[in-house]
Amino acid sequence: MTSLRQSWGVPSRPRPIVIIGAGGIVRTAHLPVYQRLEFPVAGVYDIKPDASLETARRFGVPTVFRSMSEAAAWPDAVFDVAVPGDQIAGVLQQLPRGSAVLIQKPMGENLAAAQSIAHICRDRGLVAAMNFQLRFSPNVLALQDLVDTRQLGEIVDVDVRLVVKQPWHLWAFLERAPRLEILYHSIHYLDTIRALVGEPRGVYCRAVPHPSIPEFQDTRSSIILDYGNRVRCSLLLNHTHQQNTEHTASFLKVEGTLGAAQVTMGVNIDYPNGPPDTLEVALGRARWQNIELRGSWFIEAFEGPMSNLQRFVAGEDEALVSPVEDALKTMALVEACYQSSDAGGTPVPEV
């Protein structure tokens, strides 16, 4: 097995980062990674001043902006927009034309909103990427390398399985979200599968809430992606497992004609401090081999999206990994999932 890629190159001269939104994901992942990589963070803005002040104090951010216009005025900035999906469009409209911007998923709350966001980006000439950071997780980068170099052969089977207890209550805004589990979490797996296997022809889906948390919408789903007769692809996603961790699961497995690989996402087992991610590979009839990893989804994956964006605007990367136009295809797939779920299954004939 050849040496597998597990990291993304960093920009040689990173530009200052202005963060819009000071919520949990910024404090848990974005700022710790930027500190580790020594990326300059110019300042932070949040509609809740206390959140901005506490985040700045905790991470030594030098400036707390008093308004969105003040934040947008920072010269030569790369903007990190980490706000709920229904607030993205309003933020983008206030950024200077031609700005570089990294946008936290999802790309709005539905496909229509995503198309509007894409239109704003085109109209304002924004160099915009979506923060689909699972693509940059060390084990997923290695898996993508295996697929791209055809060490697994032709991909014929893809499985994602989650049996976990997601702490939805950590994100209060999700209580009012009309769409939840697929849009705000499992979108990562749909996006990663697109990167690994390509575009599906269609989708079968059923997404349901759980009676123990009626304040939230869909928290469980079963999804089949239709790739024709050559690839079987399924996602079984239960975020409301009530028991201990003895029978939890959090993995993505890919099988090909020459081998197979399985990655685990430890953060789902005990958010945000779950066990380390893993990658196991079996080529031909050889035994499964555990590949040593340099890190996990949380937090090493968050190095990649900002590094790729900064390198692209500096001319050091040829392309963005997750430009908004590509993210639009992931949002279309999410939309198809919800449409399929709303339509219901094929009725069983009466006998």
Dist CA 328 CA 140 (whole Å): 21
Residue 314 phi, psi (nearest 5): -90, -5
* Helical spans, DSSP H, in the chain: 24-25, 31-37, 49-59, 68-72, 88-92, 111-123, 138-148, 181, 187-197, 303-313, 324-343
Predicted pLDDT at 173: 85
pLDDT at residue 273 greater than cutoff 90? no
Tokens, residue 318:
């040829």
- Model confidence pLDDT, tens digit, residues 139-177: 999 999 999 999 999 999 999 999 999 999 888 888 888
Class of CATH domain 17-132+303-317: alpha beta
Evaluate whether 337 touches 225 at the Cβ level (below 8 Å).
Answer: no
Residue 293 phi, psi (nearest 5): -110, 150
CA distances (Å), origin 198, targets 78, 126, 138, 174, 206: 30, 26, 20, 30, 22
pLDDT at residue 56 greater than cutoff 90? yes
- Model confidence pLDDT, tens digit, residues 292-349: 999 999 999 999 999 999 999 999 999 999 999 999 999 999 999 999 999 999 999 9
Quote the Cα angle for 265-209-181, to 5°: 35
pLDDT band at 291 (very low <50, low <70, confident <90, very high): very high
Using only C-alpha atoms, the chain has a radius of gyration, in whole angstroms, of 20
CA distances (Å), origin 98, targets 11, 15, 117, 128, 201: 19, 15, 15, 9, 35
Minimal CA–CA distance to 307: which of 322, 293, 291, 290? 322
Decide which of 3.30.360.10, 3.30.390.30, 3.40.50.720, 3.40.718.10 is the CATH code for 134-302.
3.30.360.10
CATH 3.40.50.720 region(s) of the chain? 17-132+303-317
Predicted pLDDT at 170: 87
Amino acid found at 151? Q
Predicted pLDDT at 2: 62
pLDDT at residue 274 greater than cutoff 80? yes
Predicted pLDDT at 332: 98
pLDDT band at 120 (very low <50, low <70, confident <90, very high): very high
Dist CA 183 CA 106 (whole Å): 6
pLDDT band at 262 (very low <50, low <70, confident <90, very high): very high
Please name the residues in contact with 285: beta carbons below 8 A apart, sequence gap of 6 or more: none
Predicted pLDDT at 78: 98
Bridge pairing between strands 41-45 and 17-20: parallel
Predicted pLDDT at 1: 61
Predicted pLDDT at 176: 83
Minimal CA–CA distance to 182: which of 157, 158, 207? 207
Predicted pLDDT at 182: 97
pLDDT at residue 50 greater than cutoff 70? yes
Q: What is the pTM of this model?
A: 0.96
Dist CA 159 CA 144 (whole Å): 15
- Model confidence pLDDT, tens digit, residues 73-96: 999 999 999 999 999 999 999 999
CATH 3.30.360.10 region(s) of the chain? 134-302
- Model confidence pLDDT, tens digit, residues 177-197: 899 999 999 999 999 999 999
